[in-house]
Structure 1
Amino acid sequence: MNWDSYIKSYQSYLKIERGLSKNTIDNYSFDIERLCVFLAENNIDVSPLQITEETIQQFVYAVSSQVNARSQARIISGLKSFFGYLIFEDYRLDNPLELIEAPRTGRKLPDTLAVDEIDALIQAIDLSSNEGERNRAMLETLYGCGLRVSELVSLKISDLFFEEGFIKITGKGNKQRFVPVGKLAQKYIQLYRDTIRNHMKVKKEFGDTLFLNRRGGQLTRAMIFTIIKDLAVKTALNKKISPHTFRHSFATHLLENGADLRSIQLMLGHESITTTEIYLHLDRKFLKEVVNSFHPRKSVK
């Protein structure tokens, strides 16, 4: 087996055994392919079963001059996972990245939007077009439910449980969760569905997909990015935003208004609460108010 064969076997493992999305699998694969390019450029003829820590260290050193610390850490993590798989399948006995440390990167705090900035973006949508009604419903859903962009574009009509006040989300690793959906998001989803979607010619394979492009097919992630970027320009918003910004804003605003971290974790679909804890760093004023309100030593007697 050559590198390609092992990579394909690893990709199958990630898809079938770990249930990862195509985007995540592509990212893992890209890191391994980057190593293969390095080997080819330096005339190093070695298989994944024979490659040593020294060769990997040479690769990491070369990469460190091309990417930032965060990307370097991701590459090291991805390669560790690949060689961990080879050990799991009894292809090799050791992981050549075992003693290679990733650079310390710290946590990057997510960008957020103020409520009035979100209102301005949604109000800037041109509702004279069919796409406008759809876009308003999508942004209200992104912000109102804290979805990932991949979860938004794959949302199905059969996932809507408005009578119960929930929508069913299929997240990373095909894990499902129920997320509360507010009355405003419900209103605009129903309006889009009744006045626009129900009158479209929908492609057969997307008959249950909620948000569609003008050709009756599924929207791409890139299209959602473009919609939001154009609205940011239209409103002269001096921030670099993406669909994920609405998700960050959802979590931050809930926390600021008194929601507990565990509830936010469940709604976001974070596997570990340590991922959710990043939002604790966003508003120091809020944390101070929590202590002043609830700690038994909050005041001097």
Structure 2
Amino acid sequence: MHNNGKVPFGDLGAYIEKNYRNKSLFTTIRHYLSYQRNAETAQLKDILQYIEYLRKQDLNPKTVRNHLFAVKIYYNYLQETGRRKTHPCKKLQLKDQLNTSVATEKLYTSEELEQFYQNYKSREKELQTRNKVIISLLVYQALQVTEITKLQLQDIDLEKGEIIINKEKLNSKKSWGNSRILPLKANQILLFYQYLKWRETLLENLNKESETFILTKQGNTLNPHLISNLINEEKGQRFLPLKIRQSVIANLLKEKNDLRLVQVFTGHKKSSTTERYRLTELEELQNAVNNFHPIQ
């Protein structure tokens, strides 16, 4: 067994807590360490054997990918702490076929999303405005967490009420994919002004400079993996960022918005990707039946 003291789980746990705050990630890494006796010196072939072992367990392809993600994090940790010079699986990508269907009946309604935004309260009052900005970008612009954390000050134009996603791609000759300009809601304008004022004061107190729009209390770029936790501080229903994005897309299509416009809004490269969020007439009928005549 590898967990014989060579790798201090305390240090590894602290590393994960600091960078990811994901307890299940630590558990998944320990699963790998219990399988791989010589994990610190393992090579690509050894990791491929582990992936094959997982596949034989009849795991969902997405679960297998999550295991590989955890293994990559483990080797990031070894590199950053000087325990290993090379990363054996940094470029490894799996081609297992994923189920890309969207369970539209399990998504949030527009009313639920609006209520979540309006009622959100942060345990840390100083982060209330910043966190509401993040939630607004999820609920109103359906941004991905990586898009939110990559936003720069120059991407926000409050006078025009616009926000630019992937500005570099938009200004290049290859303007395609998820680059786009999106309108801000009226209630976001004042919120953004308030956040920018807080942000400016924060950087002055820290004697720092940064062009990144969303910052941590330390004036650093926010880790996208932390967004789910920071917007779900209270017990009860969890609003997951990916599910929020999926819900916004599905709700736009449910409101009979043009498919092409929704595709541009969300940054999907293919209209077929957007199409997956559209309820069929049969699904709409079944949902209506379930709402008015629920099974006891």
User: Secondary structure in 1 aligned to 2:219?
Assistant: coil
Q: Which residue of 2 aligns with 1:137?
A: 133
Counterpart-to-counterpart distance in 1, 2:287 and 2:116: 31
In the TM superposition, residue 170 of structure 1 has moved relative to its aligned partner by 1.6
TM-score (norm 1): 0.57
1:288 to 1:260, Cα distance in 2 relative to 1, 3 A: farther
Residue number in structure 2 paired with 1:188: 191
Q: Distance in 1 between matches of 2:159 and 2:116?
A: 28
Distance in 2 separating the partners of 1:104 and 1:248: 17
Alignment-mate amino acid for residue 193 of structure 1: L
- In structure 1, stretches of 5+ residues that fail to align are 1-32, 42-58, 76-100, 290-301
State whether structure 2 residue 149 is matched by structure 1 residue 153.
yes
Aligned-residue offset at 1:128? 7.0
Secondary structure of residue in 2 paired with 1:280: coil
Could you list the per-position Cα deviations for residues 61-89 of structure 1 after superposition, in whole angstroms to 9, with x for gaps in the alignment? 862325214556999xxxxxxxxxxxxxx
Question: Any idea what the Cα deviations from partners look like across 1:194-239, whole Å, max 9, x if unmatched?
Answer: 2x112112678862111111111111112211112324x2xx22xx
Q: Distance in 2 between matches of 1:208 and 1:39?
A: 40
Query: Structure 1 285/255 Cα, relative in aligned 2: closer, same or farther at 3 Å?
Result: same
Which residue pairs with 1:197 in the alignment?
199
Contact 1:256–1:286 under 8 Å retained in 2 = no
Please point out which of 250, 253, 256 is paired with 1:255.
253
TM alignment of 1:216-231, pairs within 5 A: 216-231=219-234
Letter in 1 for 2:165: I
Please report how far the alpha carbon of residue 150 of structure 1 lies from its aligned counterpart in structure 2 after TM superposition: 0.4
Q: Report the Cα offset of residue 282 of structure 1.
A: 7.4
The answer to whether the Cα contact below 8 Å between 1:171 and 1:269 also exists between their aligned partners in 2 is no
Contact persistence 1:155–1:169 (CA under 8 A): yes
Tell whether the 8 Å contact from 2:155 to 2:167 is kept in structure 1 after alignment.
no
* Cα root mean square deviation, aligned: 3.8
Return closer, same or farther for 1:184/1:252 CA change in 2, 3 Å cut-off.
farther
Deviations 1:243-274 (A, max 9, x none): 11221222122222221111111111111111
Pair 1:276 & 2:274 matched: yes
Q: 1:211 to 1:38 in 2, by over 3 A?
A: closer
CA–CA separation in structure 2 for the residues paired with 1:116 and 1:273: 26
> Are the aligned partners of 1:73 and 1:103 in contact in 2 as well (CA < 8 Å)?
no
Distance in 2, matches of 1:279 and 1:226, equals: 25
**Contact kept in structure 2, 1:261 and 1:277, CA below 8 Å:** yes
Q: Contact 2:254/2:278 (CA < 8 Å) preserved in 1?
A: no
Q: Which runs of 5+ in 2 are unaligned?
A: 1-41, 68-94, 171-177, 289-296
**Aligned with 1:167: secondary structure?**
strand
Which residue is equivalent to 1:51?
A: none
1:53-64 mapped onto 2 (5 Å cutoff): 63-64=55-56
Q: Which amino acid aligns with 1:130?
A: E
CA distance, structure 2, for counterparts of residue 133 and residue 193 of structure 1 = 10
Distance 2:109 2:272 in 1: 24
Question: What is the Cα deviation at residue 104 of structure 1?
Answer: 7.8
TM value normalised by structure 2: 0.58
Question: Which of structures 1 and 2 has the bigger CA Rg?
Answer: 1
Distance in 2 of aligned mates of 1:247 and 1:206: 31
**Deviation at residue 116 of structure 1 after TM alignment:** 3.4
| Per-residue deviation, residues 45-76 of structure 1 (Å, max 9, x unmatched) | xxxxxxxxxxxxxx75862325214556999x
Q: Structure 1, residues 73-109: CA drift from partner, whole Å, max 9, x if none?
A: 999xxxxxxxxxxxxxxxxxxxxxxxxx966846242
1:107 aligns with 2:107: no
Distance change >3 Å, CA 106–CA 198, structure 1 → 2: closer
Q: Which amino acid aligns with 1:199?
A: T
Which residue number in structure 1 is paired with residue 162 of structure 2? Answer: 166
* Aligned 8 A contact 2:164 2:180 in 1: yes
